[in-house]
């Protein structure tokens, strides 16, 4: 089944590892085979990955779109997860769900769960700032 992606002017999308930026008008793309697709709202850059949980999101994003370097991305992921669990053991339930998805090669779904981990991290940071 084909996937229709409508891009707003200037919107970016990653399709099969290629970063595509739309021009000045709305564009409709029909993707007829199975390839990784990430819309701009789901893409994070290296510069934006400025917290441990955002770095986890970035590496899962790379797993999804850069299959050629999957083992490297997996090694980075497990290292980052270990560090987050050491600093915040309460993240274990969310990380367990992410791990199951990663091990099942369901990277897009893992990205969705990782957004919840980022929200948890942001709330923890806000709590610490209010306490000081």
Confidence band of 110 (pLDDT split at 50, 70, 90): very high
**Alpha-carbon gap, residue 72 to 104, rounded angstroms:** 17
Q: Are the C-beta atoms of residues 116 and 94 closer than 8 Å to each other? A: yes
Ranges of each domain in the chain: 3-42, 52-131
C-alpha span between 36 and 76 (Å, rounded):
20
- What percent of the chain lies above the pLDDT cut of 90? 89
pLDDT attached to residue 106 = 97
The residue-averaged pLDDT of 62-71 equals: 95
Alpha carbons 58 and 117: distance in angstroms, whole number = 13
Task: Spell out the SS3 assignment of 74-88.
Answer: HHHHHHHHHHHHHHC
Task: Tell me how far apart the alpha carbons of residues 40 and 107 are, in angstroms, rounded to a whole number.
Answer: 16
Query: In this predicted model, what pLDDT tens digit does every residue of 7-39 receive, in sequence order?
Result: 999 999 999 999 999 999 999 999 999 999 999
- How does strand 27-31 pair with strand 18-21? unpaired
């Amino acid at each position: 089944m084909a996937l229709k992606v409508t891009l707003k002017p200037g919107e970016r999308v990653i399709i099969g590892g290629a970063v595509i930026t739309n021009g000045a008008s709305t564009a409709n793309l029909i993707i007829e085979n199975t390839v990784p697709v990430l819309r701009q709202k789901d893409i994070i850059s290296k510069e934006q990955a400025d917290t441990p949980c955002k770095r986890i999101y970035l590496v899962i994003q790379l797993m999804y779109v850069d299959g050629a370097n999957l083992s490297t991305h997996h090694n980075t992921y497990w290292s980052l997860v270990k560090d987050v669990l050491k600093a915040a053991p309460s993240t274990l339930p969310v990380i367990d769900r992410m791990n199951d998805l990663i091990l099942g090669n369901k990277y897009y779904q893992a990205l969705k769960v990782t957004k919840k981990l980022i929200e948890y991290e942001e709330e923890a940071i806000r709590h610490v700032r209010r306490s000081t």
